[in-house]
């Protein structure tokens, strides 16, 4: 046995080592040669096997077998446990999770027999990692929590950090971001206490990933910058590569492909210096995917295939499947649909092996899209159904929305408009939820871009100021050198220098003031643009939805596929309401635009207010009938008011529309207009869902984009209330709101009677 061990050692020493990994292999090998006991040799052999897990799997397995034979021969329970733990880690690394779990269970048994609770908990964490990659999050979380309790009893800081970091990953995968951040905050506290820069680096990377999930790219970049700083401080090249790569991912999401490519190439350079094939393959794949949206498909394919070759060499099943997905996407854009289908089918086989529900939902959705483009609707519908199976199980909104849209398109091609109409409703339901997520992320992206631009402008101003200061210093230096021989002209030089400095200060002060004015103007302009973009996004999304409903309803009407006349009446009523809603939104948008541009014409004149109320309420006869609302009108006095009748009609229409929208079917809306001395008091009251104090406060802030759904899912953006306030301002009046949750809302305002 000792002779065999000696031969292995000689062979290992003869192999040239490169990079950081090679130095560690050389160090372990030298220790192995000088080891004085067989138990020490067992430990060193397992450590050496783990170093070879990324570069030479066959050699790693051979070393573990050698260590296990040696441990069995000397009845070393601890050593046998180390062998099974190392074997499990290698199999886990190459995606063979089920076998890895069996090895970890064996390792736990040997460590328990030896009374090594710390090692026992370490292996329990490894088991949690395997369950994590099998998407068995509940089991993984249980393993981490059990290990955390053991480490806590042992006061084992490194173990606690490992558990808390992994628990944070699961909370992130569940979308429980606050719990994830809290878990990572505990890790940072422990890491700072023990000056553990390596754990600190990993944690900042994990926190950055959570903020990427939330669309908060500015905070994510800050955390990746911190992780990069600590990685370089400790000389951890792997963490340096990961930090650079994650920063590249953010710039890719922001469509700044040049910056993304710069960071990916830096990460690739670091990974190549380490000789870390895993990180090299990831960098190559990311560079390839960065070229896809740029339309450079040949470059994209070249890099992705280079990364795929390494992944296949390492046996990384999950990463191999992802690479096939990216290649399929390239072929789809090239309109090589059969090649794209073949690649996605290959990816599905691998996704099944690693039990990746999100990946399967994406693959099946892509297949449905490709088959639809290839003119094969039956296959498209079938694969979209498979995407729904996996997407609904994990709440993957993007894939669910895509699948329902594909199925709706197929049903329209088949002429089954009733089914298409039902699928469209489902598509809109999930599309709205997805749109809300996108809106939140879009707002954060806009804020990030704005903050970045302001920072760049500040840097430019500082640079300009530094250049001006340098010019001034050089000028003063030359003046002094010139005037040193001329003592007689010293006074004149002093006066001249003083004058120059004072003018320079005046110039600097003027420049600073001008920069402040420009900055304030830019901030106001950016705020206006963000407001405009947000309104257009909300209105465009809502109008697209209503027009889509109208087109689908018209298709159903054209086919005349109704069970009875009542169903036909319902569809016609919905169509009319949808058209009225679209028109109202467009009118509100046009009015808001004129208000912003200052082009709104305000032409007040004497108007009989009671007649104006009757005209407005007549327009709501269909909505009231459709929702079975009782509309009660209370008027008193002649009520001759001096107002702009067109604008006041818009105010009344928006307030009555809101009252109907938030009333329950069969409810009551009261419109009251009472003359009191020289004023008319107008109140619109409903007994619907009402508002909480917080919701009432939001409405009182004249905000838009915060509109709530009505009692029957009617859409609202909050723009109507904002317009009403602006219009009443022209009439020296203001909108007042009183509301109680589940008891209803009253909107009121006061207008002057008689001429001004």
**Alpha carbons 606 and 646: distance in angstroms, whole number:** 12
Residues 6+ apart with CB under 8 A from 326: 285, 288, 289, 292, 300, 304
- Asked whether residue 684 carries a pLDDT value surpassing 60, the answer given is yes
- pLDDT for 1 equals 37
Beta bridge partners of 668: 630
**Alpha carbons 714 and 345: distance in angstroms, whole number:** 41
Structure-block tokens of residue 90: 């290698």
Q: Determine which helix (DSSP H) or strand (DSSP E) holds 606, and give its type and residue range.
A: strand 605-608
Confidence label for 746 from pLDDT (cuts 50, 70 and 90): very high
What integer is the mean pLDDT of 204-211? Answer: 86
CA dihedral 433, 438, 443, 445 (to 10 degrees): 160
What integer is the mean pLDDT of 131-144? Answer: 86
End-to-end alpha-carbon separation of the chain, Å?
111
Say which range, 56-60, 564-568, 661-665, has the weakest mean pLDDT: 564-568
- pLDDT for 15 equals 38
CB 526 within 8 A of CB 450: yes
CB 287 within 8 A of CB 265: yes
- pLDDT for 3 equals 33
**Alpha carbons 383 and 633: distance in angstroms, whole number:** 56
Q: Is the dihedral of CA 185, 191, 195, 199 positive or negative?
A: negative
Number of helices (H) and strands (E), helices first, in the chain?
29, 7
Average pLDDT, whole number, for the chain? 80
- pLDDT for 440 equals 47
- Asked whether residue 351 carries a pLDDT value surpassing 90, the answer given is no
Q: Is the dihedral of CA 594, 595, 597, 603 positive or negative?
A: positive
- Smallest CA-to-CA distance from 198 within 170, 167, 172, 161 is with 161
- pLDDT for 454 equals 47
**Burial bucket for residue 295 (CB in 10 Å: 0-12, 13-18, 19+):** exposed
Look at the block and give the residue holding tokens 């994209």. 300
**Alpha carbons 76 and 74: distance in angstroms, whole number:** 5
Beta bridge partners of 258: none
- Smallest CA-to-CA distance from 651 within 727, 546, 712 is with 727
Residues 6+ apart with CB under 8 A from 560: none
Q: Where are the alpha helices (DSSP H) in 560-644?
A: 565-597, 609-618, 621-627
Residues 6+ apart with CB under 8 A from 471: none
Look at the block and give the residue holding tokens 């009443």. 728
Encode pLDDT of 150-166 as tens digits. Answer: 998 988 888 888 889 88
With a pLDDT cut of 70, the percent of the chain lying above it is 76
- Smallest CA-to-CA distance from 20 within 54, 59, 57, 64 is with 54
- Asked whether residue 520 carries a pLDDT value surpassing 80, the answer given is no
Select the more confidently predicted residue: 475 or 367.
Answer: 367
**Alpha carbons 292 and 301: distance in angstroms, whole number:** 9
Select the more confidently predicted residue: 307 or 14.
Answer: 307
CB atoms within 10 A of CB 459: 10
Q: Which long-range contacts (CB under 8 A, 24 or more apart) does 68-72 make?
A: 69/1, 70/1, 70/5, 70/38, 70/41, 70/42, 70/45, 71/39, 71/42
What integer is the mean pLDDT of 405-410? Answer: 89
Encode pLDDT of 586-639 as tens digits. Answer: 776 677 677 766 667 788 888 888 888 888 888 787 778 778 898 989 888 778
Q: What is the bridge-based pairing of β-strands 744-752 and 736-740?
A: antiparallel
- Smallest CA-to-CA distance from 49 within 75, 77, 84 is with 84
Residues 6+ apart with CB under 8 A from 344: 324, 325, 328, 363, 366, 367, 370
Structure-block tokens of residue 662: 């938030």
Encode pLDDT of 216-241 as tens digits. Answer: 888 888 888 888 988 888 888 988 99
Is the pTM higher than 0.75? The answer reads no
What integer is the mean pLDDT of 366-384? Answer: 91
- Calculate the alpha carbon distances from 308 to 320, 336, 337 in Å: 6, 20, 21
Phi-psi region of 251 (alpha: psi -120 to 50; beta: other; left: phi over 0): alpha
Look at the block and give the residue holding tokens 């910058």. 225
- Asked whether residue 186 carries a pLDDT value surpassing 60, the answer given is yes
Confidence label for 525 from pLDDT (cuts 50, 70 and 90): low
Structure-block tokens of residue 423: 């699928």
- pLDDT for 106 equals 92
For the chain, give the number of residues: 756
Q: What is the bridge-based pairing of β-strands 668-676 and 630-636?
A: parallel
Buried b (16+ CB within 10 A) or exposed e, 502-541: eebeeeeeeeeeebeeeeeeeeeebeeebeeebbebbbeb
What integer is the mean pLDDT of 11-15? Answer: 35
**Alpha carbons 56 and 90: distance in angstroms, whole number:** 11
Q: Is the dihedral of CA 406, 408, 412, 416 positive or negative?
A: positive
CB 108 within 8 A of CB 122: no
Q: Determine which helix (DSSP H) or strand (DSSP E) holds 744, and give its type and residue range.
A: strand 744-752
- pLDDT for 455 equals 43
Look at the block and give the residue holding tokens 């096939």. 324
What SS3 class is residue 738? strand
Encode pLDDT of 248-270 as tens digits. Answer: 988 988 889 999 999 999 999 99
Encode pLDDT of 536-582 as tens digits. Answer: 555 555 565 567 666 666 766 766 766 667 667 766 766 666 666 66
CB 286 within 8 A of CB 279: no
What integer is the mean pLDDT of 181-199? Answer: 84
Encode pLDDT of 315-336 as tens digits. Answer: 888 889 889 999 999 999 999 9
- pLDDT for 745 equals 93
**Alpha carbons 83 and 103: distance in angstroms, whole number:** 9
- pLDDT for 26 equals 86
CB 108 within 8 A of CB 123: yes
**Alpha carbons 648 and 641: distance in angstroms, whole number:** 11
**Alpha carbons 688 and 670: distance in angstroms, whole number:** 12
**Alpha carbons 385 and 381: distance in angstroms, whole number:** 6
């Amino acid at each position: 046995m000792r002779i065999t061990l000696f031969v292995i050692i000689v062979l290992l020493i003869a192999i040239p080592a490169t990079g950081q990994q090679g130095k560690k292999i050389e160090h372990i090998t030298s220790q192995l040669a000088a080891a004085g006991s067989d138990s020490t040799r067992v430990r060193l052999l397992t450590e050496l096997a783990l170093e070879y897990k990324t570069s030479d799997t066959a050699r790693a397995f051979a070393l573990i077998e050698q260590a296990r034979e040696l441990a069995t021969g000397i009845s070393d329970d601890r050593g046998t446990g180390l062998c099974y733990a190392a074997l499990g880690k290698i199999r886990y690394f190459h995606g063979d999770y089920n076998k890895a779990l069996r090895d970890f269970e064996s390792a736990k048994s040997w460590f328990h027999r030896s009374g090594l609770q710390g090692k026992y908990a370490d292996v329990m964490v490894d088991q949690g990692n395997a369950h994590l990659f099998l998407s068995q999050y509940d089991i993984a979380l249980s393993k981490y929590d059990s290990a955390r309790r053991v480490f806590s009893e042992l006061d084992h800081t490194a173990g606690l950090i490992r558990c808390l970091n992994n628990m944070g990953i699961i909370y992130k995968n569940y979308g429980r971001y606050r719990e994830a951040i809290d878990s990572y905050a505990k890790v940072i506290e422990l890491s700072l206490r023990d000056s553990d820069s390596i754990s600190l680096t990993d944690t900042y990377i994990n926190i950055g990933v959570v903020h990427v999930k939330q669309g908060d790219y500015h905070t994510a970049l800050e955390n990746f910058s911190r992780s990069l700083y600590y990685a370089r401080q400790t000389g951890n090249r792997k963490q340096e590569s990961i930090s650079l790569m994650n920063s590249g991912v953010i710039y890719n999401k922001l469509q700044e492909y040049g910056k993304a490519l710069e960071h990916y190439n830096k990460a690739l350079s670091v990974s190549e210096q380490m000789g870390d094939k895993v990180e090299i393959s990831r960098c190559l794949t990311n560079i390839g995917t960065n070229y896809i949206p740029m339309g450079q498909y040949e470059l994209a394919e070249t890099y992705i295939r280079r990364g795929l070759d390494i992944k296949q060499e390492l046996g990384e099943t999950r990463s191999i499947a992802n690479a096939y997905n990216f290649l399929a996407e390239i072929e789809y854009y090239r309109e090589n649909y059969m090649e794209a289908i073949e690649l996605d089918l290959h990816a599905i086989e691998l996704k099944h092996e690693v039990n990746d529900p999100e990946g399967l939902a994406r693959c099946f959705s892509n297949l449905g899209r490709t088959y639809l483009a290839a003119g094969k609707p039956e296959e498209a519908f079938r694969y979209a159904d498979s995407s729904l199976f996996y997407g609904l199980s994990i709440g993957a909104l993007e894939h669910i929305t895509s699948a329902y849209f594909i199925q709706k398109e197929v049903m329209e091609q088949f002429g089954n408009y009733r089914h298409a109409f039902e699928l469209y409703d489902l598509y809109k339901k999930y599309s709205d939820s997805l749109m809300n997520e996108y809106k939140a992320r879009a707002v954060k992206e806009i804020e990030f871009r704005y903050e970045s631009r302001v920072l760049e402008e500040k840097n430019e101003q500082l640079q300009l100021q530094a250049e001006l200061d340098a010019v001034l210093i050089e000028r003063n230096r030359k003046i002094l050198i010139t005037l040193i021989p001329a003592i007689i002209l010293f006074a004149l030089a002093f006066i001249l220098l003083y004058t120059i400095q004072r003018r320079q200060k005046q110039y600097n002060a003027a420049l600073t003031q001008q920069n402040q004015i420009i900055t304030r103007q830019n901030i106001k302009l950016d705020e206006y643009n963000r407001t405009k973009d947000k309104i257009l996004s909300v209105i465009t999304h809502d109008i697209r939805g209503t027009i889509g409903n109208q087109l689908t309803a018209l298709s159903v009407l054209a086919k005349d596929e109704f069970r009875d006349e009542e169903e036909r009446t319902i569809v016609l009523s919905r169509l009319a309401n949808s058209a009225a809603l679209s028109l109202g939104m467009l009118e509100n948008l046009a009015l808001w635009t004129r208000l912003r541009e200052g082009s709104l014409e305000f032409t007040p004149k004497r108007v009989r207010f009671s007649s104006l109320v009757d005209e407005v309420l007549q327009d709501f006869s269909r909505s009231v009938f459709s929702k079975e609302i009782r509309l009660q009108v209370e008027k008193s006095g002649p009520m001759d008011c001096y107002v702009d009748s067109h604008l006041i009609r818009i105010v009344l229409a928006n307030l009555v529309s809101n009252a109907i929208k938030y009333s329950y079917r069969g409810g009551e809306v009261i419109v009251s207009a009472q003359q009191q001395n020289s004023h008319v008091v107008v109140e619109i009251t409903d007994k619907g869902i009402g508002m909480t104090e917080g919701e009432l406060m939001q409405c009182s802030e004249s905000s838009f984009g915060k509109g709530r759904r009505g009692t029957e899912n009617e859409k609202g953006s909050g723009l109507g209330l904002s317009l009403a306030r602006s219009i009443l301002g022209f009439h020296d009046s203001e909108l007042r709101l009183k509301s109680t949750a589940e008891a209803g809302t009253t909107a009121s305002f006061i207008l002057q009677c008689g001429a001004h």
